[in-house]
Amino acid sequence: MLCVVPPQFSSRPPKRAPKVPNRIRAYRLKSNLSQGDVARAVGATRAAVSAWEVGKSCPTLPLLFKLANALSTFIEALYPSLYEAARRPVA
């Protein structure tokens, strides 16, 4: 499942979903954990963790809760751009 961001001012959908910036790698390194450690903690593969870190895909909501818990932080800290976008008023 990719993180889907609405296309900016375009009537044509993008060929690829844009990457969503995240801080998963920073929090993982801060916690002195390897990608394999995180993968085991959340029940995913190391390749999945790698894809999340570079923005190729996003964890499902249940995995996102486990991921935040494994990294001793909040979901909002892992994906600050999505959190800020959700807080903006709808025009």
Q: What is the pLDDT along the chain (91 residues), one digit of tens a residue?
A: 445 544 454 455 445 555 667 899 999 999 999 999 999 999 999 999 999 999 899 899 899 999 999 999 998 899 887 767 667 777 6
Specify whether the CB–CB gap between 29 and 37 falls below 8 A.
no
What is this structure's pTM?
Answer: 0.72
Q: Hey, what's the torsion of the CAs at 26, 36, 60, 67, to 10 degrees?
A: -50
Contacts of 60 (CB under 8 A, 6+ apart): 1
pLDDT of residue 9: 44
